[in-house]
Amino acid sequence: MMNEKEVRAKCVQLAEIAGELTIEVKGLAKENEILKDYIDNIAAIIHYQCSLKEQDQWLADMISEGYYTKQNPEYYEDNNDSSE
């Protein structure tokens, strides 16, 4: 059984953990909003049948943000003609 001092120390420790988790949750919520915005953008690109140039720009943004990794980098290098 824990004495009062140990209980207080454990409460302080748990409060610190709760604070860290709150910060983490806020960061994840912000990231979630960003991802929802990206999804909204690609949905609009598809819905309005935007040009390949606009699709390529969206994809380039996703690559630069680290949300997509090129599956075949050679293809992109060989077909980087955005003269639409």
Q: Where are the domains of the chain?
A: 1-48, 50-84
pLDDT at residue 80 in the model: 60
Quote the Cα angle for 31-34-40, to 5°: 140
| Confidence check: pLDDT of 79 > 90 | no
Q: Give the predicted TM-score (pTM) of the model.
A: 0.68
What pLDDT, on the 0 to 100 scale, is given for residue 83? 47
What pLDDT digit, counting tens, does each position of 2-36 carry?
Answer: 999 999 999 999 999 999 999 999 999 999 999 99
The rounded distance, in Å, linking the Cα atoms of 56 and 82 is 8
> What is the tens place of the pLDDT at every residue in 48-72?
999 999 999 999 999 999 999 988 7
**What pLDDT, on the 0 to 100 scale, is given for residue 81?**
54
